[in-house]
């Protein structure tokens, strides 16, 4: 937990980078008592203790409440995109799934055409080539079965999207044309007096239909302060109703 807190404070998110920092950074060497876990141990800790990490954050918020640090009725909301450890090829949306299936169908049609051509040429075509084409077609048909199973899982999700490595990660557009990342759109509500975060969420505010776009962070912050109507400062993308 100390390693993760240090990483968040110093913008070190990668488990491999955290492993290196534990070996070379004197602050982390002191903080961990010379413990030097490898990157897999660091990554597994976050994966296996997600609920415990959330409870620690919740206790911190409750401590701030007891100390009356959330006493002002004003809050600022903003967000940022963070890349997840999930390759774009291992994230599927409805459009990406359809494109992938169409590409496989085109490849199978091309290989079948080559087999038909080999049949017309007769024994002049090497048997190894025909075997290789049949193996490619069989592999692609197995891939279609796998994608159809993933598609069934994807259609059961709320946003019709699935990530295989990091299930919570989502594909989202960035400012660059035709670019995008698989990651998190983290939205955070911050107390304007003490600059304390009242509770982030790892989903884009724009993904909550039929609700005010700033509702969840604001409501969460509203549970911590005495006023029922906190003042909210946010960008245009977060304030449209």
Note the pLDDT tens digit of each residue in 10-27. 778 788 889 999 999 898
pLDDT at 116 over 70: yes
Residue range of the domain that includes 235: 72-86+166-241
pLDDT at 67: 82
Higher pLDDT, 216 or 76: 76
Note the pLDDT tens digit of each residue in 47-102. 888 888 878 877 877 887 788 776 656 777 777 788 888 888 999 999 999 999 99
pLDDT at 202: 47
pLDDT at 216: 46
pLDDT at 93: 93
Same domain, 239 and 174: yes
Same domain, 79 and 125: no
Q: Which residues of 23-46 are buried (b: 16+ CB within 10 A; e: fewer)?
A: eebeebeeeeeeeebeeeebbebe
Q: Is residue 155 part of a domain?
A: yes
**Selection from 68, 79, 61 nearest residue 197 by Cα:** 61
Please say which residue of 163, 197, 220 terminates a domain. 163
Residue 210 pLDDT class (50, 70, 90 cuts)? very low
Note the pLDDT tens digit of each residue in 141-191. 999 999 999 999 999 998 899 999 888 888 888 776 667 889 888 777 777
The residues that bridge with 118 in the sheet, in sequence order, are none
Residue 238 pLDDT class (50, 70, 90 cuts)? low
pLDDT at 209: 33
The secondary structure of 115-167, three-state, reads: HHHHHHHHHHCCHHHHHHHHHHHHHHHHHHHHHHHHHHHHHCCCCCEEECCCC
* Inter-CA distances, 56 with 13, 38, 48, 223, Å: 19, 23, 14, 18
Residue 198 pLDDT class (50, 70, 90 cuts)? low
Q: Average of pLDDT values for 98-121? A: 93
Copy the structure tokens of residue 59. Answer: 């206790």
Copy the structure tokens of residue 15. Answer: 């488990």
Same domain, 78 and 191: yes
Q: Is residue 13 part of a domain?
A: no
Please say which residue of 103, 133, 163 terminates a domain. 163
Copy the structure tokens of residue 235. Answer: 């960008």
pLDDT at 108: 95
Q: Is the pTM of this model over 0.85?
A: no
Number of domains in the chain: 2
pLDDT at 229: 56
Q: Is residue 195 part of a domain?
A: yes
Q: Is residue 9 part of a domain?
A: no
pLDDT at 205: 38
pLDDT at 127 over 90: no
């Amino acid at each position: 937990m100390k390693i993760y807190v240090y990483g968040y404070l110093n913008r070190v998110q990668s488990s491999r980078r955290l492993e290196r920092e534990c070996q070379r950074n004197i602050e982390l060497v002191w903080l961990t008592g010379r413990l030097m876990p490898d990157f897999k141990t660091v990554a597994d800790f976050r994966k296996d203790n997600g609920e415990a990490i959330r409870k620690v954050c919740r206790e911190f918020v409750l401590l701030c409440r007891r100390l009356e640090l959330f006493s002002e009725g004003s809050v600022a909301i903003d967000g940022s995109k963070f890349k997840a450890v999930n390759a774009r090829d291992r994230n599927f949306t409805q459009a990406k799934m359809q494109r992938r299936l169409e590409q496989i169908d085109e490849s199978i049609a091309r290989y079948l055409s080559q087999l038909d051509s080999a049949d017309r040429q007769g024994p002049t075509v090497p048997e190894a080539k025909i075997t290789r084409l049949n193996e490619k077609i069989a592999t692609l048909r197995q891939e279609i079965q796998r994608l159809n199973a993933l598609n069934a899982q994807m259609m059961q999700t709320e946003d019709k999207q699935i990530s295989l490595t990091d299930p919570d990660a989502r594909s989202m557009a960035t400012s660059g044309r035709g670019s995008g990342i698989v990651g998190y759109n983290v939205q955070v509500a911050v107390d304007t007096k003490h600059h304390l975060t009242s509770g982030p969420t790892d989903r884009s505010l724009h993904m909550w239909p039929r609700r005010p776009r700033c509702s969840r962070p604001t409501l969460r912050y509203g549970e911590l302060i005495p006023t029922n109507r906190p003042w909210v400062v946010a960008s245009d993308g977060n304030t449209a109703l």
